[in-house]
Amino acid sequence: MMRPMKLAGQELMFGQGCLEHLRTVKASRAVIVTGGSSMKKSGMLQKVVDYLKSAGIESEVFSGVEPDPLFSTVMKGADMMKSFQPDIIVGLGGGSAMDAAKAMWIYYENEGFKELSDILPPNEFPKLRKKARLICIPSTSGTASEVSRSIVITEDGTHTKFGIGNMEMMPDIAILDPEVTLSMPKGITAETGMDAMTHAVEAWVSTRANYVSDILAEAAIKDIAVYLPKVMQDLNNVENREVMLNASMTAGMAFTNVSLGIVHSMAHTLGSVFSKSHGLLNAILLPYVIDFNSGEGWAKDKYDRLVRSMGLEGDLSAVVRNLNRNMDIPESLNAIIRDEYRFKEKIEYLIDSALADGCTKTNPIIPTREQMRELFFEAYYGNKAGI
C-alpha cells in the first residue's frame, strides 16, 4: 500500500532573489544555525540577519556546526535556544547545518530529552512546533534537507552516524536562492551535486517508487546530468546554479517520500568509519550499485529507459562514471581510503551496518552478506581483485 506523500512544508520559495522572502516572516525571535565561515564571508549570513530585522525579528547566531554534526553540538545549540526562546529556527548552509538545526529544534522543544537514543526507534518521535517553526536555506545543491524528513547525527564517542526520519522534521519554509550557493568551491559543488544525483537515481528504482516520485526523480537526473558539468565550468553562473539547486530540491522531494537504496547504506557506514565526504562516497559507489541492481529485471528496464530518454547510449552506470571522470572524482574507494589494512579489518562491521541501514530495505535487490562483501570490495579496488 502506498504511503502518504508530503512534498514540502507550508511555503516553498525558489529562484534568484527569493531570500528576501524572509522579510515577510511573522515571528519575534530567531536562532540562525550555520556551519563554518562560508556564509559569513559571502555576506549571506548578514543578509539573513538584516532581512529578519526588517521583519521585526531579533536574531542570534549559532555557528560552527561541523560536517557530520555531533550530538554534543546539537545539545549546545538546543541549550542556546532554551535560553533565547526563539519562535523561528533558521538552518542556513549545507546539509550538516540544516540537519543540526532540525535536531536542535527537537531537543529545544522537548526538554526532557537528553540522549540521542531519545529520538531513535523504538521511541515514539515527538510532535514539533510547540515553540518554533523551521526555515531552511540551502547553500549547496545536494542534500535537499530543506524538503527532507531526515537528519543524520553523529554519536560523539563511537562516531556512528544515525539516520533519523519523520515527517515532523519537514521544514515549514524552504528558501532556495541560487545566490546563496555561489560561495561553494569546486570540490564541494561536485560532491554535493553527485549526492543529489544519487538521491534521484536511488528514488527512481526504490521499491516504493510511484507515479509522482518517478516524475520528480527523472527530471532531477536529466537536469543534473546536463547542468552539473556547466556549473563546474563556470562556478559564478547563477542561472546554472539555479537549475542545479532546483534539481537537488526535486530529487529531495522524491527520496524523502520513497526512500533510497544501498548506495546510501554503504556511504553512511563508510563515512562513520573513515570520515569521508558523504557526497564523494555516493559518487564513487553509485555506478557499482547500478550494475548490481541491474541484476533485477525491472530495475534494469528503468535504468535503460532513462538513458534512452536522455538521448544517450550504453548503460546508466557508464553515464555516471563519465560524469565522475569529468569532475576528477576517483573511480574507486582506495583513492580516498588509503589504509587497505583498516578497510579489510572493518569489513564485517561495514557489512553489518550497511545491511541494517534503513535505506537497504527499499533497494531493488536486498543483498546477502556475501553480495554486500563483494560490492564493498569491488568499489574499493575498482574490480573484483582482493575479494
Residue type, 321: R
Q: Say what the pLDDT of residue 161 is.
A: 85
The pLDDT tens digits of the residues spanning 38-50 come to 999 999 999 999 9
Q: Where in the chain is the domain with CATH 3.40.50.1970?
A: 11-180
Report helix, strand or coil for 272.
Answer: helix
Please tell me the distance from the alpha carbon of residue 239 to that of residue 235, in angstroms, as a whole number. 10
Q: Say what the pLDDT of residue 2 is.
A: 79
Under CATH, to which class is 11-180 assigned? alpha beta
| Grid cell listed for 322 | 563519465
The residue ranges of the chain whose pLDDT is under 70 are 384-387
| Cα–Cα distances in angstroms (integers) from residue 301 to residues 61, 196, 294, 312, 322, in the given order | 49, 22, 8, 15, 21
Q: Say what the pLDDT of residue 384 is.
A: 54
Give the torsion sign (CA, 211, 295, 291, 1). Answer: positive
Query: CB-hemisphere CA count at 13 Å for 98?
Result: 30
Q: How many CB atoms lie within 10 A of CB 374?
A: 16
Residue type, 13: M
Please tell me the distance from the alpha carbon of residue 97 to that of residue 181, in angstroms, as a whole number. 14
Give the torsion sign (CA, 110, 113, 114, 118). Answer: negative
Candidates 258, 110, 129, 281; CA nearest to 192 is: 281
Are 61 and 32 in contact by the 8 Å Cβ rule? The answer is yes
* Per-residue DSSP letter, 179: G
| Grid cell listed for 161 | 552516524
| Backbone dihedral angles phi then psi of residue 260, each to the nearest 5 degrees | -125, -145
Hey, what's the torsion of the CAs at 291, 294, 300, 303, to 10 degrees?
A: -30
Are 279 and 195 in contact by the 8 Å Cβ rule? The answer is yes
| Grid cell listed for 100 | 543540526
Under CATH, to which class is 185-381 assigned? mainly alpha
Q: Say what the pLDDT of residue 313 is.
A: 85
Please tell me the distance from the alpha carbon of residue 226 to that of residue 231, in angstroms, as a whole number. 9
Tracing cell 564517542 back to the chain, one arrives at 157
Report helix, strand or coil for 7.
Answer: coil
11 exposed, middle or buried (CB, 10 Å; 0-12, 13-18, 19+)? middle
Q: Where in the chain is the domain with CATH 1.20.1090.10?
A: 185-381
Across the strands, what pairs with 118? none
Are 23 and 55 in contact by the 8 Å Cβ rule? The answer is yes
Please tell me the distance from the alpha carbon of residue 199 to that of residue 234, in angstroms, as a whole number. 24
